[in-house]
Amino acid sequence: MFTGIVQEVGAVEEVVPVENGARIIIRMPALAPEVGMGDSVSVNGTCLTAVELGAERIAFEAMGETLARTTTGGLASGAPVNLEPALRPTDRMGGHVVQGHVDAVGTVTGIREDGIAKVITITAPPAITRYVVEKGSIAVNGVSLTVSQVVTDGFEIWLIPHTCDVTTFGSMMIGDSVNLEADIYAKYIEKFAADREHTAGT
């Protein structure tokens, strides 16, 4: 489990195709000493498992399902990635509950400045927009963010300069694909409501 508070922007050094998957080596000098074998790390919002350790580099393996359902399949050497190690019981909950289980891939369709803020518009499929509400939480590339406005086929987020400085949002461009994870509570509430309605109808 994660909180959506990025602790380092790493860089992909190598992507090695393997049978129905890929081995991804990421340079992450700040976090690498803290990562143990088998630990979970959020890489652009996707929970990956460390399979090889180094002083500054960690290798992860991603299976075909992960590559197909997230932006992980499009990573290439040199790509910057948002990184967050798994939450410890003593850590502060700075963002919101993030599982690292990507629900859908969205597309950046608008970027504009508004005072000190950067406003980003993201188009997303109905599979996730059904859970998006104004002032609700959403994880975008592993970053816990607040939805400022729901728009047709997507939503807007407003970013302060600090967020742009310490995540990959500072270099984001129109047309970029992003990993999206809806608030887990919204999904549970929908499931409970559907089950209750089904039970009431029987």
The pLDDT tens digits for 129-178 are 999 999 999 999 999 999 999 999 999 999 999 999 999 999 999 999 99
Tell me the domain boundaries of the chain: 8-85, 104-187
Is the fold of 8-85 the same as that of 104-187? Answer: yes
Nearest to 132 by CA among 119, 117, 122, 142: 122
Q: Identify the DSSP state of 73.
A: G
Nearest to 172 by CA among 149, 202, 146, 143: 143
104-187: CATH topology: Elongation Factor Tu (Ef-tu); domain 3 (2.40.30)
pTM (2 d.p.): 0.93
**Do residues 81 and 171 lie in contact, with contact meaning Cβ atoms separated by under 8 Å?**
no
Task: Say what the pLDDT of residue 201 is.
Answer: 65
Residue 163: helix, strand or coil by DSSP?
helix
Q: CA separation (Å) from 21 to 31, 32, 36, 58, 68?
A: 24, 23, 22, 17, 10
Residue 55 burial by Cβ neighbours in a 10 Å radius (0-12, 13-18, 19+): exposed
Query: What does each of the 202 residues of the chain score in pLDDT, given as a tens digit?
Result: 999 999 999 999 999 999 999 999 999 999 999 999 999 999 999 999 999 999 999 999 999 999 999 999 999 999 999 999 999 888 888 899 999 999 999 999 999 999 999 999 999 999 899 999 999 999 999 999 999 999 999 999 999 999 999 999 999 999 999 999 999 888 888 888 877 776 766 6
Q: How far apart are CA 168 and CA 188, in angstroms?
A: 30
Q: Which residues pair with 43 in a beta bridge?
A: 46, 83
**Do residues 2 and 91 lie in contact, with contact meaning Cβ atoms separated by under 8 Å?**
no
For residue 202, how many other CB atoms are within 10 A of its CB?
4
Task: Say what the pLDDT of residue 195 is.
Answer: 77
Q: CA separation (Å) from 128 to 15, 24, 34, 141?
A: 29, 27, 33, 14
For residue 150, how many other CB atoms are within 10 A of its CB?
15
Question: What CATH architecture is 8-85?
Answer: Beta Barrel (2.40)
Q: Identify the DSSP state of 164.
A: H
Element spanning 77, H or E = none
